[in-house]
Structure 1
Amino acid sequence: MYEIIILLRADLEVNKTAEYYESLSNGLGTKFFNEYQEYIETLKTFPFFEEKYDTVRTLPLKKFPYTIHFTVDENKKIVSVQAVISNYQDPNITRLKL
């Protein structure tokens, strides 16, 4: 089992996105947050998804156009969630620098 650490940037992005979806439709923000939480739970047991940028791995949400960007420290059994990014953002602007 891996420990999950969510960086402030990712936490703020998730909250902002949930608020945005909630402003569009009552309950939609909660659905976004719940899907995100399900994927975070998945990372606790299986964090080896696509390696995108050097050490950064990605896991796209299924129902919403967002992708979780994270790193894995196999020795310490830690998954660090770096960002939750809209799939419509320019990847050259939002690319993570670690």
Structure 2
Amino acid sequence: MAVNNFKLQILSRAKLEVDEAADYYENKSKGLGKTFYSEFKNYSKTLGNIPFFEEKYNIVRTLPLKKFPYTIHFTVDENKKIVSIQAVTSNHQDPNITRIKL
């Protein structure tokens, strides 16, 4: 089901997680942090057009990044046409300590 023109909201905690991951990768190898950020940005744009990916828990949907071991966690408000990115977590992170709290 392809739907266009969803407004994208990124919660501040998700922005912080993206920044932390980008900094981590940039410290590992120059330019890698920018590559991470670019992939996140491209996947975020995809969510604005096609937000109906796997519903993982309750109302939270997920979209894993391809090149990095991170997953975007988001909700979709079909009535208001809003995609809200709740968190961007490492696939190696303990799910019991994630910042996602809905």
Shorter-chain TM-score bucket reads: over 0.9
CA shift for structure 1 position 92: 2.3
TM-score (norm 1): 0.97
The equivalent of 2:62 in structure 1 is: 58
> For residues 16 and 96 of structure 1, what CA distance do their matches in structure 2 show?
16
CA shift for structure 1 position 90: 1.1
Task: Kindly provide the amino acid, as one letter, of the partner of residue 15 in structure 2.
Answer: D
The equivalent of 1:89 in structure 2 is: 93
Equivalent residues, number? 98
> Matched residues, percent identical?
67
Matched-pair contact (CA < 8 Å) for 2:6–2:49? yes
Structure 1 ranges of 4+ moved more than 3 A: none
User: Once the two structures are superposed, what CA deviation does each residue of 1:3-25 show, in whole Å capped at 9, x if it has no partner?
Assistant: 00000000000011101100000
The equivalent of 2:79 in structure 1 is: 75
User: Once the two structures are superposed, what CA deviation does each residue of 1:28-58 show, in whole Å capped at 9, x if it has no partner?
Assistant: 0000000000000000000000101100000
> For residues 6 and 15 of structure 1, what CA distance do their matches in structure 2 show?
12
Matched-pair contact (CA < 8 Å) for 2:55–2:61? yes
The equivalent of 2:28 in structure 1 is: 24
Q: How does 1:4-15 map to 2 (within 5 A)?
A: 4-15=8-19
TM-score (norm 2): 0.93
Q: Which runs of 5+ in 1 are unaligned?
A: none
Q: How does 1:37-56 map to 2 (within 5 A)?
A: 37-56=41-60
Q: Which runs of 5+ in 2 are unaligned?
A: none
Task: Kindly provide the amino acid, as one letter, of the partner of residue 20 in structure 1.
Answer: Y
